[in-house]
A and B are shown apart, each in its own frame.
Chain A
Amino acid sequence: MKVEYVNPFIESAAEVLEEIANLKTERGSLKLKDANSPFRDVNAILGVIGQVHGQVIYGFDEPTAKSIVSRMMMGAEIIEFDEMARSALGELGNIISGKASVSLESAGYPIELSPPTLVMAQNVRISSMNIPMIVVPLESECGTMNIYVGLEESSD
Chain B
Amino acid sequence: MSCNILIVDDAAFMRATLKDVMTKGGFEVVGEAVNGKEAIDKYKTLKPDIVTMDITMPEMDGLEALKAIVSLNADAKVIMVSAIGQQANVLQAVKTGAKDFIVKPFQPDRIIDALTKVAAM
Chain A residues in the interface with B (C-beta under 8 A): 16, 19-20, 72-73, 83-85, 87-88, 90-91, 94-95, 97-99, 101-102, 105, 110, 113-115
Contact = CB atoms under 8 A, between A and B. Distances in A.
Main secondary structure of the interface of B (DSSP, over half): loop
Interface of B: 10-14, 16, 56-58, 82-88, 103-105
B86 A102 contact: yes
Contacts of B10: 87, 115
A113 B13 contact: no
Contact of B83 (A87, A99, A114): A99
Contacts of B82: 98
A98 B16 contact: no
Contacts of B103: 98-99
Contact of B11 (A16, A73, A91, A99): A91
A88 B86 contact: no
Main secondary structure of the interface of A (DSSP, over half): helix
Contacts of B87: 105
A20 B87 CA distance: 23
B23 to A, nearest CB: 14
B11 to A, nearest CB: 4
Contact of B86 (A84, A110, A115): A110
A97 B86 CA distance: 11
A91 B88 contact: no
B83 A94 contact: yes
Contacts of A102: 84-86
Contacts of B104: 91, 94-95, 98
B89 to A, nearest CB: 9
A113 B56 contact: yes
A84 B105 CA distance: 17
A94 B10 CA distance: 11
Given A91-B13, A94-B11, A98-B83, 14 more contacts: A20-B105, A72-B13, A73-B13, A85-B13, A87-B14, A94-B83, A94-B104, A95-B104, A97-B83, A98-B82, A98-B104, A105-B87, A115-B56, A115-B58
